[in-house]
Amino acid sequence: MPKKHVLVIGSGFAGLSAATHLAHLGYEVTLLEKNSTPGGRARKFEAEGFVFDMGPSWYWMPDVFETYFSHFGKKPSDYYELERLDPSYTVVFGEDDFMDIPANLDEFRNLLESIEPGVGPKLDEFLKQAAYKYKVGIQDLVYRPSRSLMEFASPKLLLDMLRMDIFQSMSKHVHKFFKADKIIRLMEFPVLFLGETAQNIPALYSLMNYADIALGTWYPKGGMHKIIEGMVSLAEEKGVKFKFDADVSKILVRDGLANGVELKTGENITADIIVAGADYHHVDSQLLSPENRNYSESYWDKRVMAPSSLLFYLGIDKKLNNLRHHNLFFDEPLGPHADAIYTNPRWPEKPLFYASVPSITDKTVAPEGKENLFLLVPLAPDLEDTEELREKYFELIMDRLEKLTGQNVRDHIIFKRSYAHKDFKSDYNAFKGNAYGLANTLLQTAILKPSLKNKKVKNLYYTGQLTVPGPGVPPSLISGHVVAKEVIKENNL
């Protein structure tokens, strides 16, 4: 009997994960990618001797990567070499006010004690609770497909969920333990990866603090794209076939079953099962006819989206001072910044921003004596995106970067490329130009997220950061595994 053929649309982390799991379990899998290289938002590009990761730059939750590769009898070290960063990152609060975050927990505790004397025991209790949430959340809850409340119906799990503060905001939770503004901002920072402010994210996500402080910040030598290269290599080992420059224009449906796709080139490819790892909204609203869609446009317009980003990839012809691998610029108040990202449809007046200099850690991503500089400004989705606005904000953040680090950078730029809403839409069909998917608010958690299964097309599934478990690289890896298990459960080989 011939193997069932699965088409996976999109070669980001979720698509690669789903494709590899399905191939490993006996399906014939073809992965379709609209761009010319794999990785989705985690693609790379090279220019003038510099190697730039286009998107994700933080490697957190190393256990999730280890779990992923272990499903296939492999380890991350089979494909890339990891280095733990120390300091993990630096927070810039103002001129001559830099806080290096040490990798060592005792040193971290001493740092917080120097800011808020007597806070050590409170930190220990905060991390104890965060560790519990991490164990239940990342090792159990996120692996549930969230298609029915019955998945969460066991008394033990309900008790666990109550203990995990799902009905309390992250902000209130942090304020119970810490008083110093710097510590509060430090503890609230990790939830920005989830696409909302600490006021609107459940305290469940203090598990991110455990990931940050206890598990650490890592770097794969050669860049984040080395993870993609490893995943592609593993997928090919399992028999996954890749087809690049394969932009899907339509999912072909007959009698409630998807039987293939049509590419923009006019080519048709047949399938027994389809897993869409491309932007969920795009797949639902553009690739399916109206009668086969899961959700209306009004539904999508009511979703709280994670931010978009303005990115700059810069090649610098000298070595930079007073910067680490990861640098968070918190020199402006958080309030106006947060409002501008999450509520107001305008560009912020005083944005926070992030700077990454991977060439400090890795000599292979920049020519000798030069520096690879990546800048990111979080922005609200669906904003006007023009070259003039990009340049205005480039000058704004460079003014602050140069002043705070005490050096001239602009005169030493020998390569520059920007990337924002229009590019996210063009390259990834990203809904409203979002960069991170759907925000992890309480009303967009678990069964309240867009379903990983089409309700009208029996053999069509979804994976990625607009469905369960949510945004970020580790959740996307898990999302691919979760959808693969649902495919296997519902489709006998």
Report CA-CA distances (Å) from 388 to 58, 312, 380, 391.
Answer: 29, 14, 17, 5
Closest CA to 219 of 93, 342, 365: 365
Q: Is the dihedral of CA 407, 409, 410, 411 positive or negative?
A: positive
Residue type, 461: Y
pLDDT of residue 191: 86
Residue type, 10: G
Residues 208, 114 within the same domain: yes
- How many Å separate Cα 154 from the centre of its chain? 30
Per-residue pLDDT tens over the stretch 367-398: 999 999 999 999 999 999 999 999 999 999 99
Number of other CB atoms surrounding residue 399 within 10 Å = 11
Residues 445, 297 within the same domain: yes
Which class for 9: exposed (0-12), middle (13-18), buried (19 or more C-beta within 10 A)?
A: buried
Residues 423, 313 within the same domain: yes
- Show the tokens assigned to 335: 């309030």
- Show the tokens assigned to 172: 């209130």
Q: Are 425 and 433 within 8 A, CB to CB?
A: yes
As a whole number of angstroms, the distance between CA 466 and CA 242 comes to 23
Residue 322: which region, alpha, beta or left (left: phi > 0; alpha: psi -120 to 50)?
left
Domain boundary among 215, 230, 260: 215
Number of other CB atoms surrounding residue 406 within 10 Å = 10
Residues 332, 385 within the same domain: yes
Residues 285, 318 within the same domain: no
Q: Which residues pair with 243 in a beta bridge?
A: 32
Residues 327, 472 within the same domain: no
* 18 membership: H or E segment, kind and range: helix 13-24
pLDDT of residue 151: 82
Residues 348, 419 within the same domain: yes
Residues 149, 195 within the same domain: yes
Closest CA to 449 of 292, 286, 291, 299: 299
**Torsion from C-alpha of 162, 168, 170, 176, nearest 10 degrees:** -100
Residue 239: which region, alpha, beta or left (left: phi > 0; alpha: psi -120 to 50)?
left
Q: Are 279 and 430 within 8 A, CB to CB?
A: yes
Is 89 part of any domain? Answer: no
As a whole number of angstroms, the distance between CA 93 and CA 313 comes to 23
Is 52 part of any domain? Answer: no
pLDDT of residue 150: 82
Angle of the 155-163 helix axis to the 120-139 helix axis, nearest 10:
140
- Show the tokens assigned to 146: 């969230």
Per-residue pLDDT tens over the stretch 87-114: 999 999 999 999 999 999 999 999 999 9
Mapped onto helix, strand or coil, the DSSP state of residue 464 is: coil
Domain boundary among 396, 428, 460: 428
As a whole number of angstroms, the distance between CA 408 and CA 178 comes to 37
Tally helices (H) and strands (E) across the chain.
15, 19
- Non-local CB neighbours of 269 within 8 Å, separated by 6+ positions: 7, 30, 32, 243, 260, 261, 263
Residue type, 261: V
Mapped onto helix, strand or coil, the DSSP state of residue 71 is: coil
Residues 357, 463 within the same domain: no
Which class for 178: exposed (0-12), middle (13-18), buried (19 or more C-beta within 10 A)?
A: buried
Q: Is the dihedral of CA 437, 441, 444, 445 positive or negative?
A: positive
Is 82 part of any domain? Answer: no
Is 360 part of any domain? Answer: yes
CATH number of the domain residue 227 falls in: 3.50.50.60
- How many Å separate Cα 410 from the centre of its chain? 29
Residues 161, 203 within the same domain: yes
Q: Are 294 and 450 within 8 A, CB to CB?
A: yes
Q: Going by DSSP bridges, is the β-strand pair 248-254/257-263 parallel, antiparallel, or unpaired?
A: antiparallel
Task: Report residue 300: phi and psi, to 5°.
Answer: -65, -40
Per-residue pLDDT tens over the stretch 34-86: 999 999 999 999 999 999 999 999 999 999 999 999 999 999 999 999 999 99
Per-residue pLDDT tens over the stretch 235-288: 999 999 999 999 999 999 999 999 999 999 999 999 999 999 999 999 999 999
pLDDT of residue 337: 47
Is 90 part of any domain? Answer: no
pLDDT of residue 334: 58
Closest CA to 279 of 248, 304, 257: 248
As a whole number of angstroms, the distance between CA 223 and CA 64 comes to 18
CATH number of the domain residue 360 falls in: 3.30.519
Is 93 part of any domain? Answer: no
How many domains are there within the chain? 3
How is 189-214 classified by DSSP, letter by letter? GGGGGGTS-TTTSBGGGGHHHHIIII
Report the mean per-residue pLDDT for the chain. 94
In terms of residue numbers, what domain contains 138?
A: 105-215
Over residues 196-205, the mean pLDDT reads 90
As a whole number of angstroms, the distance between CA 232 and CA 380 comes to 32
Over residues 128-148, the mean pLDDT reads 92
Q: Which residues pair with 375 in a beta bridge?
A: 312, 355
- Non-local CB neighbours of 104 within 8 Å, separated by 6+ positions: 86
pLDDT of residue 336: 44
Mapped onto helix, strand or coil, the DSSP state of residue 377 is: strand
Q: Are 418 and 395 within 8 A, CB to CB?
A: no
Per-residue pLDDT tens over the stretch 445-472: 999 999 999 999 999 999 999 999 999 9
Residues 228, 204 within the same domain: no
Residue 1 has pLDDT above 80, yes or no: no
